[in-house]
Amino acid sequence: MLNYVNEFLFGGEILEKTLVKNKHLAYGIIVAYLVFVKWAGPALMKNRKPFELKYAMILYDFGQAFANAYLTYNIIKNGWESWHLHCKLQERVVELPQIAEKLLRYGWLIYLVKYLDLIDTCMFVLRKRDRQVSFLHVFHHCIMCVFCCWFIGQIKTVGYYVVFGLGLNTSVHVVLYFYYGVAAIGPNMVKYLWWKRYLTQFQIAQFFLILAYLSYGFYTGCERMGVKEITFFVYTFIILLLFMDFFKKINIKRKS
């Protein structure tokens, strides 16, 4: 069993893995997720008591925090080592094949983690926490899966903004899932979660930095303005506006 898991996660040709090669399966999971969290799940739970899921949530949240910490360390480590090539990922340089292979390996793990992210919404539904199944939450999860599905097959033609963006994103998720894990332990942990108010600001800062880096890349020519890059820029800008609107509503509610 352990050998199978190890082979699935770290072995074989990444581009030949079923979830990468079969895009219909990957997109099918996203569609199934949407159907469950927006229709099937609420209908199933309509006349039922909410599930507790305390220990499942603790295990899931801390597991995700650990996975994202592992990815953050390796992305930052490899990103730092290859920084001298941040303007040359579109060129033919000697080191590029090795860098692309590393990016692909960690890109595959991030790809899996993004699909695992969908589980938290399913838990919200089963616990009848409908308020947490917001448009922003569902939209963000779905689009991140779509981007990972789209980008992983083209990892050798993307720019350094992917390394920069993923390094930031995984580090943010370490903090988020650690918070969720501690909160899931019980009400007695609330006194240790005074920093909750800064979580949304942390996420907003992430999107500002990604947009700033992409703008810098476009201006200097380090990043080409292709379809992938422009699409990613537009998405990041939209999600930034959504998070800022969410933050504004939280502040209004807090003051009232």
CB atoms within 10 A of CB 131: 7
CA–CA gap between residue 12 and residue 30 (Å, rounded): 25
In order of 77, 96, 142, 222, 228, the CA distances from 91 in angstroms are 22, 8, 32, 10, 17
Q: Which of 151, 150, 169, 125 lies closest to 33, judged by CA? A: 125
Q: Please, are residues 161 and 210 in contact by the beta-carbon 8 Å criterion? A: yes
Residue 226 and residue 150 in contact, taking contact as beta carbons nearer than 8 Å: no
> Do residues 81 and 95 make contact, with C-beta atoms less than 8 angstroms apart?
no
List residues with catalytic annotation: 140
